[in-house]
Chains A and B, each alone.
Chain A
């Protein structure tokens, strides 16, 4: 009986932690998509590299994991700015939809094969965030999962305040909801693009590290979360914080419940069915704009 509880508890906590990570992924993606209009297909790879950066900082340089996380986020943010500046900036002779897709695709290929070449295919593990577990609901819950949830929630809250309270934040929200309108109000699109890219990549790095501390690191770890992030974007609608949150929770529920009741094949199909249904009712997603 106790073992059952333990198992379910573990599953639930894992599910919630992963759900939060997916939300963080989706947030990064949706900001980049709605502000820059770019489908950043290499987002999952930024997530992966962010995790590997922490791995090497900890194992080769002996850094404590917490400062390593911060360094990784800053590094990925910087990478994001460089990518925006040199690869993703729109030019008149470039197709605005197709070019970023191909560029981010090429980037993804380069990054994954670079990771395979540089880090090897064998799975690596990150030092745990926190050791030990905590007594909850009659079972033992590993502290690091809880901490991952806390970190993700904190990141979401920070982002929320940044967007609502600061000047940059307001400008970004305006850009996300209506690009043309924002341009007319004198908001510099290039600055907005750089900032959103930086934030998006930092978020991806955070998600990658947190996931890496729970699961293992391998070069292809970014694609699953990427797909989840995409589902959340479509469910929740572009450029919407609330949408990413609700969409993420909904997906977490689907991913958690459906395989148990209907089996893995149904679990694979369920998200798509839900997405199609929601899009039929609301073509812009649940909370989408435009």
Chain B
């Protein structure tokens, strides 16, 4: 699949292949989250096109893009704070098994069955990320790292084809980072999910991504394999010039 979009101020285009894990890196303020926002639909670009599997989704509102297969994990731990772990994942799988308003009153048996199926699905996802034992806990009572996993689980509940991860490794220790990397790889290998990762943690990008794109001042600076890009002197200078992210 191909994307074409405009980031922040200037021209920017990005193509993503199905099944690849793409890293989006660059100094702070380069516009990485903006790109993610435009793909997810939180921001509508002033000019340009965004295409998903041949469809032009530029003007689509965010919730519609989710139905098309785009799911997003926010930079901060965004969770439904009054709900349990299981309920959070259920909220994510909201698209499936919905019925009309009036059917609430007479299709009781179908509804119960559907609810059970959704529950099972949610538990499967929790098992995949390793949170199944805590399904009944309040979501906000989880420690930071496991909350991140829950955010991932919620995104997975929507059965995405494209996963957008905004700085998933912030505040994680080495073990947690490795865990997430293996999960994302498993998602690609088992379900063919494509992923775009915005990240500062260079080691993680090296380990995880097939390809990396560097953004600077809202512009695509360069792209290539992670190793090529990270060792590119121009990229290093861009980082040192703006901040000491490395």
Any A–B CB pair closer than 8 Å: no
Residues of B within 8 A of A (CB): none
